[in-house]
Amino acid sequence: MSAVATEAGIGSKVQVTYRPSGTTVRVPTGTTLFHAAHWAGLPIESTCGGRGTCGKCAVRIVEGDAEVTPADHRHLAERLDDGWRLSCQAEVRSETVCDVPALMRAPKAATMGVGRLVLLEPNVQQLLLELPPPDLDDHRSHHRRLLDALEIEGLEVIVPPALLPTIARVAEEGRVATATVVGDHLVAIAPGDESARMFGVSFDIGTTTVVATLVDLTAGATAAIASALNGQAPFGADVIARMGHAMSGDDAIAELRDAILATVNGLIDQVCGAAGVEGHEILEAVVVGNATMLHLLLGVDPRSIALSPFVATFLEPQDLSAADAGFAIEPLGRVALFPSIGAYVGADIVGDVVATGLAREPELRLLVDVGTNGEIVVGNRDRVVATSAPAGPAFEGGQILHGMRATEGAIEGVVLERGEIELQVIGGEGVAPRGICGSGLIDVVAQLRLAGLLLENGILRSRDEAVAEGHPLAGRLIVLGEGIRAFELAEGVVLTQLDVRELQSAKGAIATGIEVAMDALGVRTADLEQVLLAGSFGSYIAPQSARVVGLVPPVPVDRITAVGNTASEGAKMALLSFREREVAFELPGWIEYVELSGAEDFNDRFIRNLAFPALESVR
Amino acid sequence: MSAVATEAGIGSKVQVTYRPSGTTVRVPTGTTLFHAAHWAGLPIESTCGGRGTCGKCAVRIVEGDAEVTPADHRHLAERLDDGWRLSCQAEVRSETVCDVPALMRAPKAATMGVGRLVLLEPNVQQLLLELPPPDLDDHRSHHRRLLDALEIEGLEVIVPPALLPTIARVAEEGRVATATVVGDHLVAIAPGDESARMFGVSFDIGTTTVVATLVDLTAGATAAIASALNGQAPFGADVIARMGHAMSGDDAIAELRDAILATVNGLIDQVCGAAGVEGHEILEAVVVGNATMLHLLLGVDPRSIALSPFVATFLEPQDLSAADAGFAIEPLGRVALFPSIGAYVGADIVGDVVATGLAREPELRLLVDVGTNGEIVVGNRDRVVATSAPAGPAFEGGQILHGMRATEGAIEGVVLERGEIELQVIGGEGVAPRGICGSGLIDVVAQLRLAGLLLENGILRSRDEAVAEGHPLAGRLIVLGEGIRAFELAEGVVLTQLDVRELQSAKGAIATGIEVAMDALGVRTADLEQVLLAGSFGSYIAPQSARVVGLVPPVPVDRITAVGNTASEGAKMALLSFREREVAFELPGWIEYVELSGAEDFNDRFIRNLAFPALESVR
């Protein structure tokens, strides 16, 4: 991340034009031409990843100027006067136009995330190195010989001293060796031309579920996927409960760390088994997840996230050896944690933004990740605002009389039409409904609204009224013991007036977050070109229902898309493209974080958003 | 190390003049003004150690030019046009004159090594940091808050993820914290103003003996010294035997590593006990030693050092966490290994050069470290040449009939005068002599030469001849069973003709090394202003005897000085001054290494050097 972009946030921007494509992009001053090009979706060749060592990313500056750096001197000597500069070193200070040479080789690319075309350039590389044997005239150490051979490939790497014993052995064997490099760390060296398989693994560590994706880095393809319940579940179902346990002492934090590591390593076992891969063939892990989960993964007390003013101990990306991280992959391999945007807009959301390209495309889009906490990101390549809204446990079935998780027997969808009630129950036809999960809750409420049984202010109509009107579903309106109105979905499964209130509160918080974020960005519903429902829960929400209950703004329903687990997809993209990773790691510096609890009129807005939208606006 | 100095070795040099002092120094192009100044013994203020982050090392360039770097822009903005540049970023490309501002504070200095004045600027720093508490308008993570506070102090540091749990705790405690930084690694953070004690430990790991020096980094003083036999001794007395054991397999290397770590950690215990220090108060260890010992310390097979073409697996400096190195100090503390010059001119010799200032002073000096292997360094601040000569075990008592180590009962000095024989025996007067140690061997042979009992060609005179001449010591010339002549030093302790041959061979190898190195440098005996006998063994050699046997060139005896354990002293200086350390780490790039076995006429020279110098040239 360029220092300027970090420090000045979204400071003043200048335009860069790349020829011959004519692509333009506006970036903060101080951004390098290399990064700006990548930001614009324009690949500039480089093998060193923008470290100024390979000399391959030179461009010719036609307008504007860039200072000559020592790296320019080393690589471009006689071409400096013609305006050639290493794009990875040239910081943009004024409007700039530059020529980009055609790529020397046809890059390998794949479509990932939400329709994103990504060049396959994994952070993990394997290189066949010539190691000229020592003689009495060439006394370089084996270590130096290796560094020199890597430098010829344009790489300046860190050699962990723990690899020196292996280097000694490799040097005995001959003049060719295969080096495996992760980022700027040498992680393995083997004698001969041993182009081995290379795998990476991505993790999306959710409070409830952990998803592991094993990726074949050579083929650029997913080799196996597995998911498991977060092993911390016994210590509390949601983030708040998990934090509560963490606060009970250092042992509790260690306990939580051990629990999530057991889950992580269990999943590594599982994906390796499924794909016929050995743990040591996995050279890198990339992790996304909410900030609390990432804190616990590193054994860090998350209490400051729970208590006002709600700051995290770290939001920044972290890079550890696998041994230090406790991941059962190649011990010298690396574990990279995505950065978070804020204490409540975590690294998983950064994954969402990467996978959807939200911060890189011209279209204005709103992304909502619904859960106990609703994360909201709105913007386009010019500007992006993020916030987080405390939705409470309703979407996970908490505080709902017959609420339950999305497991067998849960009502996950409802259709009320022509006086009929049609239930979708997890497990399929023969399974008796046992309760209502989050997506079912949204569906039931939306259908009750559409059926005219639930008023704009959230009040369930009385049975008497409905009977008087001859409503065909009137018979399902009942009154519970305490005089509480309810709607009977199935035998023993009802939705109560209180449940509706809980849903209003949850969707009201998220709608308020969306409103505040859109206001901060200065856009209106009509400007939204797409609404993305992200997160595993998001995939199950019926777009029309989300619109009817007012969870999302009333855009035409075909603009609402469930995008699935984009957080995992973003992590996978970072495994397959070191440039995507660089962009990801810069995102927190670009995205404006709005603190919802800091908004003065939050309560007023929230109360306004408790009501459901008028039917004529959403039908 | 500047890239140019490394790659071009001793390339073309240009002159730099510092005003107002008028100090001049000639350095290779590409050296920074900051390094060149330090090389010239002129301190330029800096807290970041030349990383371009603190902005304190600015100088004004009066003649010559230096490009403007991004760091200059950040720190010097409006002063650039006046010629101000950060001296740590400005690489010298032509004759340069610059103004150095007066130091802002009076630096603390101490005399170390061989009369070297060194500014106390340990690599370990403790900083009191202001950590403004977070609020709803300042959402920086605790980690970022800490990095920002360190940046205000001019430091860009690596925060190991393992410290994040502590950072979370410290953040709970208040707005002030004490950070401990080693180089560019944060190693500890504590709440409040807890200016704790800071210690470092230096190690000189010899094949025979390991010396540990505990240094109080605040006071700049030695707190305790301890030495112990290298715990690898049971696996072989000398380097060759040790290598032989190492070659017996991976387990053997692990065994040798465990043995030296046990010695190291035993010594840490010992110096801590003596000074009342806890292991975790030691934040850094600096290690010198021969290349083989450093290989075994990191568990690296040293066999390539033993076999032609004699290359090391690593000569470069190494930097490890204490936990990875297996040193029982603060686990996040650092262990730094000095670089070596060649496979047989190790990091201990780099320590010698630092402590004596040999590569920085104008005087032409020769440094000889006598042992199984004799290391030779000759030169001054303009140019330095080093080589190594295989002396064999004679100086350690090996291959000598009554040879022994320098322990109780060893004859360490002899005077033959007026027909009397006067022995110096380790242990003092009442101790009966049991054998001869290395320094005693040199003394006996020198005295026999001076007494006229040993010929220039190394032949002991016969008893008959001596009796015929009426030599008062004739009675001590005896003949052993196999017809071998010998000189009786004491009852049961003799020096044989074969022992003299062994000494001739040992001193001949070293004399040849000196000759080759001096030839490479283009200097003659008359040019030598000082001859330094280094290493623990060097301290015991009588300068006059070294000259009489021809171990060193025939300079006036008052120019021969035993300088003691300068290797340890060099390591200690690196603990107390990060600039001395930087110079040390650059030395292998400056010093020309001559491979003795590669010298075509080595054998001819060696044979010529077997004879003793004519008495008239050395008496």
Per-residue model confidence as pLDDT tens digits over B292-335: 999 999 999 999 998 888 899 999 999 999 999 999 999 999 99
Inform me whether the C-beta atom of residue B169 falls under 8 Å from chain A C-beta atoms: yes
* Average pLDDT score over residue span A558-571: 92
**Distance between B570 CA and the closest CA of chain A, angstroms:** 23
Q: Do B139 and A311 touch (CB under 8 A)?
A: yes
Instruction: Tell whether the torsion through CA atoms of A280, A354, A115 and A117 is positive or negative.
Output: negative
Query: What are the E-state strand segments in A251-372?
Result: 282-289, 318-321, 334-337, 365-369
Place of tokens 């790659």: B7
CA angle A421, A423, A428 (to 5 degrees): 150
Identify which of A553, A534, A535, A537 has the alpha carbon closest to the alpha carbon of residue A394: A537
Q: What is the CA radius of gyration of chain B?
A: 27
* pLDDT in the model for residue B49: 63
Please state, for a pLDDT cut of 70, what percent of chain A lies above it: 95
> Predicted confidence band at B397 (pLDDT cuts at 50, 70, 90)?
confident
The DSSP secondary-structure symbol of A598 reads G
Indicate the angle between helix axes A164-173 and A142-152, nearest 10 degrees: 80
CA distance A360 to A345: 19
* pLDDT in the model for residue B47: 67
* Average pLDDT score over residue span A429-456: 94
> Predicted confidence band at A7 (pLDDT cuts at 50, 70, 90)?
very low
* End-to-end CA separation in angstroms for chain A: 46
Q: Could you report the per-residue pLDDT of A215-263, keeping only the tens digit for each?
A: 999 888 899 999 999 999 898 877 888 888 888 877 999 999 999 999 9
- Token readout for A516 is 């505040």
For residues B575 and B120, the answer to whether their CB atoms sit within 8 Å is no
**Distance between A290 CA and the closest CA of chain B, angstroms:** 14
> Predicted confidence band at A497 (pLDDT cuts at 50, 70, 90)?
very high
Which of helix, strand or coil describes residue B167? Answer: helix
Inform me whether the C-beta atom of residue B598 falls under 8 Å from chain A C-beta atoms: yes
Look at A46 and B104; give whichever has higher pLDDT. A46
Q: Do A168 and B300 touch (CB under 8 A)?
A: yes
Give all strands of the β-sheet with A84-86 in edge-to-edge order.
A23-28, A13-19, A96-99, A58-63, A84-86
Q: How far is CA B69 from the centre of its chain?
A: 35
| Per-residue H/E/C for B543-598 | HHHHHHHCCCCCCCHHHEEEEECHHHHHHHHHHHEHHHHHHHHHHHHHCEECCHHH
Q: Do A315 and B162 touch (CB under 8 A)?
A: no
Inform me whether the C-beta atom of residue A316 falls under 8 Å from chain B C-beta atoms: yes
For residues B218 and B590, the answer to whether their CB atoms sit within 8 Å is no
Stretch among B51-55, B349-353, B417-421, B456-460 having the lowest mean pLDDT:
B51-55
> Predicted confidence band at A208 (pLDDT cuts at 50, 70, 90)?
confident
* pLDDT in the model for residue A103: 61
CA distance A577 to A469: 61
Cis before A20 (ω within 30): yes
Give all strands of the β-sheet with A493-496 in edge-to-edge order.
A477-479, A485-490, A493-496
pLDDT of B2 strictly over 60: no
Q: Do B312 and A161 touch (CB under 8 A)?
A: no
Please state, for a pLDDT cut of 90, what percent of chain B lies above it: 64
Q: Could you report the per-residue pLDDT of B492-508, keeping only the tens digit for each?
A: 999 999 999 999 999 99
pTM of the model: 0.84
Side-chain half-sphere exposure of A71, counting CA atoms within 13 A: 20
Side-chain half-sphere exposure of B224, counting CA atoms within 13 A: 17
* pLDDT in the model for residue B73: 85
Residue of B nearest to A170 (CA): B313
Which helix (H) or strand (E) is A166 found in, with range? helix A164-173
**Distance between B59 CA and the closest CA of chain A, angstroms:** 19
pLDDT of A121 strictly over 90: no
- Compute how many other C-beta atoms are within 10 angstroms of the C-beta atom of residue A363: 11
Q: Which of residues 345-404 of A touch B (CB under 8 A)?
A: none
* Average pLDDT score over residue span B36-45: 72
Question: What are the φ/ψ torsions at residue A256 (nearest 5 degrees)?
Answer: -65, -40
CA angle A337, A343, A346 (to 5 degrees): 45
Q: To probe the interface with B, which of A295, A304, A314 has the most B CB atoms within 10 Å?
A: A314
* pLDDT in the model for residue A195: 78
Q: Could you report the per-residue pLDDT of A376-394, keeping only the tens digit for each?
A: 999 999 999 999 998 888 8
Cis before A309 (ω within 30): yes
CA distance A329 to B37: 47
pLDDT of B31 strictly over 70: yes
> Predicted confidence band at A49 (pLDDT cuts at 50, 70, 90)?
low
Q: To probe the interface with B, which of A65, A141, A334 has the most B CB atoms within 10 Å?
A: A141
For residues A63 and A16, the answer to whether their CB atoms sit within 8 Å is no
Which of helix, strand or coil describes residue B25? Answer: strand
CA distance B259 to B251: 12
CA distance A479 to A184: 67
Inform me whether the C-beta atom of residue B442 falls under 8 Å from chain A C-beta atoms: no
- Token readout for A65 is 């100027």
Inform me whether the C-beta atom of residue B168 falls under 8 Å from chain A C-beta atoms: yes
**Distance between A316 CA and the closest CA of chain B, angstroms:** 8
Stretch among A22-31, B13-22, B460-469 having the lowest mean pLDDT:
A22-31
Inform me whether the C-beta atom of residue A581 falls under 8 Å from chain B C-beta atoms: no
pLDDT of A109 strictly over 90: no
* Average pLDDT score over residue span B145-149: 93
Kindly report the average pLDDT of chain B as a whole number: 90
Q: Which of residues 118-137 of B touch A (CB under 8 A)?
A: 134-137
> Predicted confidence band at B7 (pLDDT cuts at 50, 70, 90)?
very low
pLDDT of B22 strictly over 90: no
Inform me whether the C-beta atom of residue A21 falls under 8 Å from chain B C-beta atoms: no
* pLDDT in the model for residue A4: 35
Q: Could you report the per-residue pLDDT of A310-355, keeping only the tens digit for each?
A: 899 999 999 999 999 999 999 999 999 999 999 999 999 999 999 9
Inform me whether the C-beta atom of residue A312 falls under 8 Å from chain B C-beta atoms: yes
Q: What is the CA radius of gyration of chain A?
A: 27
Among B139, B165, B253, select the one facing A301 at the smallest CB separation.
Answer: B165
Stretch among A352-361, A463-472, B111-120, B222-231 having the lowest mean pLDDT:
B111-120
Place of tokens 């490799």: A170
Question: Using a CB-CB distance cutoff of 8 angstroms, which residues of chain B are in contact with residue A165?
Answer: 253, 298-301
- Token readout for A362 is 């011209």
Q: Could you report the per-residue pLDDT of A30-43, keeping only the tens digit for each?
A: 888 887 877 676 76
Q: How far is CA B416 from the centre of its chain?
A: 36
Q: To probe the interface with B, which of A32, A33, A139, A175 has the most B CB atoms within 10 Å?
A: A139
* pLDDT in the model for residue A172: 84
pLDDT of B220 strictly over 90: no
The DSSP secondary-structure symbol of B80 reads G
> Predicted confidence band at A105 (pLDDT cuts at 50, 70, 90)?
very low
Among A91, A301, A315, select the one facing B169 at the smallest CB separation.
Answer: A301
Inform me whether the C-beta atom of residue B105 falls under 8 Å from chain A C-beta atoms: no
* pLDDT in the model for residue A605: 93
pLDDT of B50 strictly over 50: yes
Inform me whether the C-beta atom of residue A617 falls under 8 Å from chain B C-beta atoms: no
Stretch among A378-392, A468-482, B75-89, B505-519 having the lowest mean pLDDT:
B75-89
Question: Using a CB-CB distance cutoff of 8 angstroms, which residues of chain B are in contact with residue A295?
Answer: 164, 168
Q: Could you report the per-residue pLDDT of A595-606, keeping only the tens digit for each?
A: 887 777 889 999
- Token readout for B278 is 């806890």
CA distance B352 to B377: 9
Among B308, B313, B595, select the one facing A171 at the smallest CB separation.
Answer: B313
Q: Please determine, for the modelled complex, whether the ipTM score is greater than 0.90.
A: no
For residues B257 and B298, the answer to whether their CB atoms sit within 8 Å is yes
CA dihedral A133, A138, A144, A145 (to 10 degrees): -30
* Average pLDDT score over residue span B584-610: 90
Question: What are the φ/ψ torsions at residue A318 (nearest 5 degrees)?
Answer: -125, 145
- Token readout for A327 is 């991941």
Q: To probe the interface with A, which of B68, B72, B300 has the most A CB atoms within 10 Å?
A: B300
* Average pLDDT score over residue span A499-504: 96
pLDDT of B337 strictly over 90: yes
Give all strands of the β-sheet with A176-182 in edge-to-edge order.
A124-130, A176-182, A185-191
Q: How far is CA B142 from the centre of its chain?
A: 41
- Token readout for B273 is 């006990």
Among A68, A142, A325, select the one facing B67 at the smallest CB separation.
Answer: A68
pLDDT of A100 strictly over 50: yes
